[in-house]
Amino acid sequence: MNAPMRRGACPSLSRPMQTGDGLLVRLRPLAGGISPDQLGRLADAAGRYGNGILEVTRRGNLQIRGLTAESAIEFADAVGAIGIDVMNGVPVETGPLAGLDAREIADPLPLVRAIRDGIEKAGLASRLGPKVSVVVHGGGALAMDDVAADVRLEARREGGWSLSVGGTAREAIHLGRANEGEAVKIAISLLKAIAAKGIRARGRDLNPEHLGKMFQCSTLPPSVLPDISPTRGEIEPSPTPCLTSSVSGVEPRIAAGVISPLVGEMSGRTEGGNVERGHSPVGRFGLNDGNMALGMGLPFGQAHADTLKAFAEKAAAYGASEIRFAPGRALLAVGLAPNQCGALKDAALALGFVVDPADPRLLIAACAGSPACASAFIDTKNIAANIAHSAADLLDGSFILHVSGCPKGCARPAALALSLTGIAPGKCEMLLDGHDDGAIAQAGGGDAAAFVAELALLFRQRRRKGETARAFLDRSGGAALASALRKEN
């Protein structure tokens, strides 16, 4: 096993990352899921070799915390003994129900295998940065729109696969549509272009001029222009020449010179670049064999090993064939008979899982916090739970509230508007993101949830008709909110 890696790269089973509570490893099952028995044994290993805290990340990966240099090796051996094959190299990711979803447009797994083979044959893994990734989504109930990717392929109902580069589905530059075989070739070509720009390059660095060297020009009908630019401004029809693939069978989708350059950066935190709203993984989903998948959220993305082991036993007892990890910090119990979903949902609720897609806890991103993490100044999980109970009105889905144990912001989401950050032992600061006057208040850790509850009260009292919480925060500004809170106190 290699030495612990620097922050900013991606932790793996063979290369753990040093955090405030020890070493952290991240794994993604190569097969997509694991059996309930494997989950139970994995939870046992996490408790034996780590601190017993397991997390599902925004991208749907599993993290194990609190390992040491010695126990990380033993944990990796345990994963092998359990029989879990993990994804290595350049991540080529699919939706959590890939190949199973009854609403899926096309099975993405053949493309995934072909792209992985192409990456290996081209020797790209060592030439691409550690955060470069590919998303291949076949459609269905659980979209991957909010998962950032450097290269993205999505099945289209009219046939073929659309291709885009750089960021989430909303941010990406859309290139065109191709059949399965050509889509794989183009995806590999795009990865080669990223690699050619250096180890730090990402898909967002392939601007339209760069892409123009890979594509030939032709006239693009205005009707196929994307609706929204990466900067979220409207794109007007333009007679300028457009880009279309030199590979036959590809329909053009973007116009050179009319798409604004990508702005901002994807978060360089533990797992950044994701907006956490969209298609909730919490709920019931039909499978193509007539069975069901039941999605349950982990409170703030985290559960203790004993809780996960108990859940694994319940899942097996109710007939689940496998457990999958879903973007949005959730678990999916797959292969349930329709009449067993309710029983497992009740069992999951009793264990403290999130079973309601409207649960406000899904709108709070909280790091491990104190006492789990030695770097944390505040008990983030307790504060977050209190906020979810007392300030639910503010959590209307228009933004993600960030509760961070220290200024490093390991759990920082992309859809951030408001944050509570630990700045000293037992003390935190409330901030509006992206505002020069963003500082609202400072509070003791025990009072932090009360400050957010008072902010929620201001929102109820002062919001305009139809105004979201984020729009209210942006309109008000930190200085005005700070003044209002002082008057209330």
- State residue 212's pLDDT score: 59
pLDDT, greater one: 222 or 327: 327
Taking the C-alpha atoms of residue 433 and residue 419, their distance in angstroms, rounded to an integer, is 7
Helix/strand/coil percent split, the chain, to 5 = 30, 25, 45
Per-residue pLDDT band for 262 (boundaries 50, 70, 90) equals very low
pLDDT at 437: 64
Domains 97-255 and 361-488 are alike in CATH topology: yes
Confidence of residue 221 (pLDDT cuts 50, 70, 90): very low
Whether pLDDT at 182 is above 70 = yes
Q: For the ranges 56-60, 102-106, 128-132, 314-318, which has the lowest average pLDDT?
A: 56-60
Mean pLDDT confidence for 380-386: 93
Q: Which CATH architecture has domain 17-89+281-357?
A: Alpha-Beta Complex (3.90)
Least confident piece of the model among 100-114, 240-254, 446-460: 240-254
Closest CA to 360 of 331, 387, 328: 387
Q: Does domain 361-488 have CATH number 1.10.10.60?
A: no
Other Cβ atoms less than 10 A from the Cβ of 140: the count is: 25
pLDDT confidence bin for 207, thresholds 50/70/90: confident
pLDDT at 323: 98
- Residue 486 predicted with pLDDT over 80: no
Q: Hey, what are 224's tokens?
A: 């196929």
Choose among 332, 316, 312: nearest CA to 324. 332
Q: Single out the residue of 206, 204, 353 nearest to residue 265, CA to CA.
A: 204
The confidence band for 274, taking pLDDT boundaries of 50, 70 and 90, is very low
pLDDT at 413 over 80: no
Contact 115, 134 (CB under 8 A): yes
Residue 444, pLDDT score: 77
Question: Which of 108-117, 168-177, 308-317 is predicted least confidently?
Answer: 168-177
Model pLDDT, residue 4: 45
CA 132 from chain centre, in angstroms, equals 14
Query: pLDDT, tens digit, for every residue of 301-319?
Result: 999 999 999 999 999 999 9
pTM across the whole model? 0.81
Please report which confidence band the pLDDT of residue 415 belongs to, taking 50, 70 and 90 as the band edges: low
User: Mean pLDDT over all residues of the chain?
Assistant: 83
CATH code for the structural domain at 97-255? 3.30.413
Q: Are 322 and 36 in contact (CB under 8 A)?
A: yes
Tokens describing residue 391: 């300030």
pLDDT, position 411:
78
pLDDT band of residue 188 (cuts 50, 70, 90) is: very high
Contact in structure between 298 and 353 (CB atoms under 8 Å): yes
Collapse the DSSP code of 354 into the 3-class scheme (helix H, G, I; strand E, B; otherwise coil) and give the result: strand
CA distances from 128 to 192, 200, 201, 331 (A): 9, 8, 8, 30
Mean pLDDT of 366-376: 86
**What are the CB-based long-range contacts (under 8 Å, 24+) for 226-234?**
226/174, 226/253, 226/254, 226/259, 228/170, 229/259, 229/260, 230/166, 230/167, 230/171, 230/172, 230/173, 230/259, 230/260, 230/261, 230/262, 230/263, 231/260, 231/263, 232/170, 233/260
**Which pLDDT band holds residue 203 (cuts at 50, 70, 90)?**
very high
Per the DSSP assignment, residues forming a β-bridge with 244 are 216
Mean of pLDDT values over 122-140:
94
Q: Is the pLDDT of residue 23 over 70?
A: yes
Report the pLDDT value the prediction gives residue 219, as an integer from 0 to 100. Answer: 28
Average pLDDT over residues 268-274: 37
Cα within 13 Å of Cα(3), Cβ side? 2
Q: Are 257 and 171 in contact (CB under 8 A)?
A: no
pLDDT of 251: 45
Query: Residue 20 is encoded by which pair of tokens?
Result: 């405030």
Alpha carbon distance 430, 440 (integer Å): 5
Q: What is the pLDDT of residue 113?
A: 96
User: Which residues are within 8 A (CB) of 312 and not within 5 positions of it... i.e. 6 or more apart?
Assistant: 36, 37, 39, 40, 43, 323
pLDDT of 121 higher than 70: yes
Q: List, for residues 428-474, the tens digit of each pLDDT value.
A: 888 888 666 677 878 776 788 988 999 999 999 999 999 999 999 99
Domain spans in the chain, listed from the N-terminal domain onward: 17-89+281-357, 97-255, 361-488
For 320-332, what is the mean pLDDT?
A: 95
